[in-house]
Amino acid sequence: MKRRQFIKSTLASGLAISVIPQLAFQTNTTKISYEELIGKGNPNLYGDGYQLRKEAHDALVSLKKEALKSDIRIQVVSSYRGYNHQNKIWERKYNRNINNGLTPQESINKIIEYSTIPGTSRHHWATDIDIIDVNVAQPSTVLRPSHFEDNGCYRKLKLWMDENANAFGFYLVYTNAQNRQGFKYEPWHYSYKPLSSQYLLEYKNLNIKNIIANENLLGNAYFYDDFISKYLNENILDINPELL
């Protein structure tokens, strides 16, 4: 069995408890609180125009300083997002899709092309960032994959990050690997591995089905067990293997 398949299989076995409602949210060995894992905690956050845990913030400051030497001015356009923030995004998109004639299940499937279900976002951990380069002319919509490829305005940023980001602890989350499933390619989304890898290990102990039900998420009646299982294995686990 290949390393990536083994890792995904091992993590998936933990996440599989999410389809068994009676199981507890956490194991007795959990070190990170349930509230922090789903974006309802009260973490100490640092940053100017963004919010990260201190270790991730300090690493980002160093990364940005180094990027400036190559005339790249990194700006964070999204960092920590609490549960309520993510839920507002979810409800806005869900209602818009329904108003446009989509069924509830179609609306949910469309949302999770790029957006996470509230309570399951990596941005809840204050370890992940979405970035652009503000030393170039800005497009009207900044977070589009095409801007980071070929002759896109952020191509220089992408190439620089490919070469240097890992040295500062940051790794691309949703890669363009040919067989990767789940969320679509996001060349702007980086995660601070020294912290986020620990959060993911703790997160796999949570009962995701109960989170969705107990938080009364809009559309939760359509989150069937097979959908939850697929979401866990593809959207949460099928990420850059360096982050597993």
Write down the H helix ranges in 72-207: 83-99, 104-111, 155-164, 193-203
pLDDT tens track for 61-113: 999 999 999 999 999 999 999 999 999 999 999 999 999 999 999 999 999 99
- d(CA 25, CA 4) in angstroms, rounded, equals 26
Share of the chain above pLDDT 90, in %: 83
Q: Note whether 38 and 212 are within 8 A (CB).
A: no
**pTM beyond 0.85:** yes
pLDDT tens track for 105-137: 999 999 999 999 999 999 999 999 999 999 999
**Please, what are the domains in the chain?**
3-243 (3.30.1380.10)
CA distances from 176 to 46, 173, 184, 185, 188 (A): 30, 10, 8, 5, 12
